[in-house]
Amino acid sequence: MIKPIIVGNWKLNGTQESIKIFLNLLNKFLVNYHEKCTVVISLPILYAYLIRNTLLFDNKNFFLGAQNTDNHNSGSFTGEISPIMLKDLGIKYVIIGHSERRFNHNETNRMIANKFFLLKKENLIPILCIGETKQEKLENNTINICKKQIDSIFDICGIQAFNDSIIAYEPVWAIGSEISATPKEAQFIARFIRQYIVSRTNDRIKNFFIQYGGSVTRKNAKNLIKQKDIDGFLLGRSSLQIEEFTKIIEIIHV
C-alpha cells in the first residue's frame, strides 16, 4: 500500500490563537505517525509563519500547503500571491481549481491550467481539484466533466504534466454537505482518472496520487480509503477539529 496523503483545507478559518493550539496538538499526535502518513495543512497563508514556529516544521512527513496561487509569478496583480512566493515561504503543496474558486471567483479550466504550469515550473506539487456539480451528475456527465478538467492541464502542460502531482476528486455536491460519494462511486471515478492519465502519459507516470474529498468524516473514512484507487483525502470541515482530523489519520491505518 502506498503511504496515504491527507490534506486539510482550512479555507477562511482560524486565528493565531486557535491555530497555535491546533498545531501543538497535531505535533504531539504526529510523533507516532512519522512514517505512516503524509499530512499537509493548507491554512490561510498569512498564518504560515506559525507552522515555522512549531516542531512540525522538522517532521519529514508534515508539509505546509496553500489553498490557491495566482497564475502569474509577479507583476501588477493586486492582492495575489504567486508560486515563487509560496515556494519562498517553504510551501510544497498547492490546492488549485477548488470548486469554491471555480464558482466564486470565476476560475476557468485555462486559468487553472496556467497555475498548474507555473507550480510545476517551481517544483511545487499541485493538488488539482476536479469534479461535477449535482446537475452534471444527474445528467450522467461526471466522466465528461472530469475529462475536460484533466485535458485542459494536458493541453497547457504536456503529457508529463501529472508526474509529481495530485488530483483530488471532489464532487461539488458532496463538498460542505452531509452527503459523501459512496465508496463505490468514488472508486469508479478515481479509477477512471488513473486509467485516463496513465493512458495519455504512455504509462510513464510517477508520483501521482488521487485523493477523494467531500464530506469525509471518521464515519466514512475507512471504507473510502479501502478503495484501490483512493490514495488519501482532501478534508474541509474535518480538518478544522483536531479530534476529527487525527481520528481520520488513525482510521486509515487500521
Binding site: which residues? Answer: 9-11, 176, 215
Nearer to ligand PEP, 70 or 170 (CB): 170
Q: x-or-dash pattern for ligand PEP, window 75-114, by CB under 6 A?
A: ----------------------------------------
Outline where DSSP puts E strands in the chain: 5-9, 38-42, 62-66, 93-96, 125-130, 165-169, 208-213, 232-235
Q: Which of 100, 107, 132, 170 is catalytic?
A: 170
C-alpha cell at 73: 509569478
Number of residues that bind ligand PEP (CB under 6 A): 13
Integer Cα distance of 212 and 234 in angstroms: 6
Q: Which of 72, 98, 178, 185 is catalytic?
A: 98
C-alpha cell at 216: 469525509
Which positions ≥6 away from 49 have C-beta within 8 Å? none
Q: Does 9 bind ligand PEP (CB under 6 A)?
A: yes
Pick one of 42, 109, 201, 215: the residue that binds ligand PEP (CB under 6 A).
215
Under DSSP, the state recorded for 31 is G
252 three-state secondary structure: coil
Q: Does 179 bind ligand PEP (CB under 6 A)?
A: no
Are 73 and 82 a contacting pair, CB within 8 Å? yes
Residue 96 main-chain phi, psi, to 5 deg: -135, 155
Nearer to ligand PEP, 9 or 149 (CB): 9
Q: Does 132 bind ligand PEP (CB under 6 A)?
A: no
Residue nearest to ligand PEP (CB): 236
In the annotation, is 170 catalytic? yes
Give ∠ CA 173-234-131 in degrees, rounded to 5. 35
Q: Does 158 bind ligand PEP (CB under 6 A)?
A: no
- Give the total residue count for the chain: 254
In the annotation, is 34 catalytic? no
Binding-site residue ranges for substrate? 9-11, 176, 215
Pick one of 216, 221, 248, 252: the residue that binds ligand PEP (CB under 6 A).
216
| Interacting residue ranges for ligand PEP, rule: CB under 6 A | 9, 170, 175-176, 213-216, 234-238
